[in-house]
Amino acid sequence: MTELKNDRYLRALLREPVDMTPVWMMRQAGRYLPEYKATRAQAGDFMSLCRNADLACEVTLQPLRRYDLDAAILFSDILTIPDAMGLGLSFGAGEGPKFARTIQTKADVDNLPIPDPEGELQYVMNAVRTIRRELKGEVPLIGFSGSPWTLATYMVEGGSSKAFTKIKKMLYSEPKVLNALLNKLADSVTLYLNAQIKAGAQSVMIFDTWGGVLAHHDYPQFSLQYMHKIVDGLIRENEGRKVPVTLFTKGGGLWLEAIADTGCDAVGLDWTVDIANARARVGHKVALQGNMDPSVLYAPAERIEQEVSDILAGFGNGSGHVFNLGHGIHQDVPEESPKIFVDAIHRLSQHYHEKCND
């Protein structure tokens, strides 16, 4: 494999010295770029874009041509696993994901297959292999999956939800059924992420998008323990170097210490968390990723730079910080705003790393 030219993202995740704070953006390959819209139109629809390795590679690389990002992230969707389980995923025009079939009973769970990463999900592995080759060692490639709890919400609700009433009904009335589903999903995610690592992903991330909707006492049982199980089962070294693992629970500030105790390398933070407080709580154990409000990218340049400066100051000196947004970039931000954001991070962060590199 090609030697990495820029590995500061991987080094920061492992809290090793870096020359400046690395940055990438959640959803950096996506609808805010006109070239993405053109490629998606070429593909015909979203899932066709995901299933075409060359086009998935193209949209993965598009933001790297515009901005000085320190990592690429696989272009795919968190719902590939439930789709491969046969639930009939579709995306309507202007709508969120929908499943033709939902999970309601123990029999539904028992009948779910565990997808073969090089079978039903081979298109994802082909995309990983293609992207890794075309990156030519410029920056590392991040692989990812949805968390078991987050995947289960879509599988039980049948799509996006505001109140999560169906899955919470299952949680409180039939917890054994839900736990069986989450266990099967944890096994599937472990296989899926390990296959991504074997195909060339150099770091992996678990997106627990809906963990924050759980009651404080339910999160450890119904979300965190399954992510912990995945972390325990992941390949942690490949191609002669460590493969860092990041866990991100949106709305997870309450449980930072518990997330850090899973053995992951980094914890993602949304914008509701003060990064100085987070570092004081868990920074000795894990790296931190985050955490600017994506809506700041609507602001003038000086306001974006001020927010970047404040977050860098909040984290303080030393490595262990990967700068990111607190969630995905919005589709209507000005095209020049991410450049202002990325360049400000690199410029303003250098003095926080000087003592580490003496």
Binding-site sequence positions: 27-31, 77, 154, 209, 327
The angle, 0 to 180 degrees and rounded to 10, between the axes of the packed helices 148-157 and 165-173 is 110
Residue 154 is among the residues annotated as catalytic for this protein: yes
Q: Which of 19, 45, 77, 261 is catalytic?
A: 77
Q: Which of 88, 85, 76, 84 is nearest to 46 (CA)?
A: 76
Kindly name the residue from 9, 67, 154, 226 that is annotated as catalytic: 154
Give the closest residue to 123 by CA, choosing from 45, 200, 56, 193. Answer: 56
Catalytic residue among 40, 66, 101, 236: 40
Which of the following is catalytic: 27, 66, 236, 281? 27
| Marked catalytic residue, from 19, 31, 123, 298 | 31
CB-neighbour burial class of residue 338 (10 A; exposed 0-12, middle 13-18, buried 19+): buried
Alpha-carbon separation of residue 251 from 165, 217, 219, 254, 327 (angstroms): 18, 14, 11, 8, 10
Give yes or no: 40 in active site: yes
Based on the residue annotation, tell me whether 31 is a catalytic residue of this protein.
Answer: yes
CA-to-CA distance for 91 and 46, rounded, in angstroms?
A: 7
Alpha carbons 309 and 313: distance in angstroms, whole number: 6
Annotated binding site for substrate: 27-31, 77, 154, 209, 327
Active site residues: 27, 31, 40, 77, 154
